[in-house]
Amino acid sequence: MLKALNIDPGKCTGCLQCELACSYENEGLFNPAKSRIKVFNFHDQGRFVPYTCTQCDEAWCMHACPVDAITVNRATGAKEVNDNLCVGCKVCTIACPFGTVNYNSATGKVIKCDLCGGDPECAKACPTDAITYVDADWTGLDKMRQWAAKTDAGNTGTGQQAAH
């Protein structure tokens, strides 16, 4: 069973624990700038939105790589960058429609989420469950539950919504 990161921005408080956990796991230091997950701060709306690689089925980054440095981890489904093959050309950063493949100028290689080998640190570090690691087929479960709760509140028990 493949799993995927499920992000619920409504639960994010902007604490950046996910960024710190990610940078420590992957770079050995607490530095959000080195994180593979980013928390966007929408000041005007007072909202925070965590964002990272969605491990696309199409994986444009992988198909664009001229040296085949990005491959699929069969156990996790993550598209992983092989540093020994990556030449730092950045074609994958251009190919990614979501901007979640980034260039690391310190190493001359690209970095992206690899799901921490199937045990993502960002999900473990998130104190509000804004980031969870769930069955890949059920990433929309929370949204379905929210919708069911809304429609159930107006249900009269006859299968129709109550007239208000």
Question: What's the rounded Cα separation, in Å, for the pair 59 and 71?
Answer: 10
Answer whether 32's CB lies under 8 Å from 135's CB: no
Q: Please give the mean pLDDT across all residues of the chain.
A: 90
Has domain 3-153 been given CATH number 3.30.70.20? yes
As a whole number of angstroms, the distance between CA 77 and CA 61 comes to 14
> CA dihedral defined by 95, 99, 105, 107, rounded to 10 degrees?
-70
pLDDT of residue 141: 66
Model confidence at 156, pLDDT cuts 50, 70, 90, reads low
Within 8 A by CB and 6+ apart from 118, the residues are 3, 75, 76, 78
DSSP labels, 44-55:
TTTEEEEE----
Q: Are 85 and 68 in contact (CB under 8 A)?
A: yes
- pTM for the model stands at 0.82
List the domain boundaries for the chain. 3-153
Band of residue 157 on the pLDDT scale cut at 50, 70, 90: low
Q: Which two tokens stand for residue 2?
A: 């493949």
